[in-house]
């Protein structure tokens, strides 16, 4: 049975207020992700939610297929406790990391396991070329695993910085200006790719993306606050504070230079 790790309990506290149902669902799902296989009783202890609230939420998550039973464990008197875990085939995501001379693409399942991977050698692609490459890579990764778009929750794109946030009336756009790649000027990568693929697309500079990945799946799970050093085309970094990525006002916190 999973046990809480240092630095995680404080970020998984739910609330028993009725209006916070969606928040509690996310908290319960995250508790299962971090500590699976885990019983409903232990979820209740970690999140400080009532047993009935946990039961209701996990019942809904079972109906959607996001979680599944993973055996039983005997602990004390009474019937054995049912253990819960994420269903790895319930949802997928794609990660695309572009640099001046290569593209790395991965398809991961609900557990964060890499199911498909591709690597392409490139030579300073233009923004237009990159959009076509992104689209083909995402399609290839989906087809290689035989999954439908309905099971793909989104695509994450990592690029060399700097990333700029352009404020417009009533909204903002995130654009990239990678200094080492000619012809890239205020390119709204996420918007362009989302229009092509009809899927949610999330953009981050590669150093920050690596730092947040470390928080989710690496040694960073044991630390609420840390700085991640990234060696790529230049020297960069990602700053995680109290479990959250700190991007700063411009989206480039942690960047050091080329």
| Euclidean distance between CA atoms 81 and 85, whole angstroms | 13
Sheet holding 244-245, edge to edge: 226-231, 235-241, 244-245
In this model, does residue 4 exceed pLDDT 50?
Answer: no
In this model, does residue 89 exceed pLDDT 90?
Answer: yes
In this model, does residue 135 exceed pLDDT 80?
Answer: yes
**87 contacts 68 by C-beta, under 8 angstroms:** yes
Chain centre to alpha carbon of residue 14: 20
**65 contacts 91 by C-beta, under 8 angstroms:** no
**160 contacts 99 by C-beta, under 8 angstroms:** yes
Percent of the chain past pLDDT 70, that is, above it, reads 88
The token pair that represents 5 in the structure block: 């790790």
**14 contacts 24 by C-beta, under 8 angstroms:** yes
The token pair that represents 50 in the structure block: 């009532």
In 3D space, the residue among 217, 216, 209, 218 whose CA is nearest the CA of residue 239 turns out to be: 209
Please tell me the least confidently modeled range out of 104-108, 163-167, 214-218, 233-237: 163-167
Within 8 A by CB and 6+ apart from 161, the residues are: 176, 178, 205, 206, 207, 236, 252, 255
pTM of the entire predicted model:
0.83
In this model, does residue 228 exceed pLDDT 60?
Answer: yes
| Euclidean distance between CA atoms 36 and 48, whole angstroms | 17
In this model, does residue 7 exceed pLDDT 80?
Answer: no
In 3D space, the residue among 72, 97, 93 whose CA is nearest the CA of residue 84 turns out to be: 72
Between 137 and 237, name the one with better pLDDT.
Answer: 137
Average pLDDT over residues 197-211: 92
For residue 171, the model assigns a pLDDT of 66
Average pLDDT over residues 81-102: 94
In 3D space, the residue among 165, 162, 188 whose CA is nearest the CA of residue 254 turns out to be: 162
Within 8 A by CB and 6+ apart from 57, the residues are: 21, 24, 25, 28, 49
């Amino acid at each position: 049975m999973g046990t809480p790790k240092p630095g995680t309990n404080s970020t998984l506290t739910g609330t028993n207020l009725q209006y916070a149902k969606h928040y509690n669902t996310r908290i319960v799902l995250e508790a299962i992700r971090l500590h699976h296989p885990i019983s409903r009783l232990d979820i209740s202890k970690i999140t400080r939610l009532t047993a009935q609230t946990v039961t209701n939420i996990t019942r809904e998550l079972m109906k959607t297929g996001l979680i599944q039973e993973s055996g039983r464990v005997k602990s004390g008197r009474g019937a054995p406790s049912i253990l819960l875990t994420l269903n790895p085939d319930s949802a997928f995501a794609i990660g695309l990391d572009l640099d001046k001379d290569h593209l790395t693409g991965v398809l991961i399942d609900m557990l964060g396991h890499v199911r498909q991977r591709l690597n392409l050698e490139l030579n300073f692609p233009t923004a237009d070329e990159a959009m076509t490459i992104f689209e083909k890579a995402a399609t290839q990764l989906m087809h290689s695993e035989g999954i439908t778009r309905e099971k793909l929750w989104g695509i994450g794109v990592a690029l060399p910085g700097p990333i700029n946030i352009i404020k417009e009336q009533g909204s903002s756009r995130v654009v990239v200006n990678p200094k080492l790649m000619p012809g890239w000027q205020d390119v709204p990568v996420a918007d362009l790719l989302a229009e092509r693929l009809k899927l949610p697309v999330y953009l981050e500079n590669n150093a920050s993306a690596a730092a947040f990945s470390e928080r989710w799946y690496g040694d960073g799970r044991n630390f609420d606050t840390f700085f991640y050093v990234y060696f790529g085309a230049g020297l960069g970094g990602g700053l995680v504070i109290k479990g959250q990525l700190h991007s700063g006002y411009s989206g480039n916190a942690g960047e050091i230079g080329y």
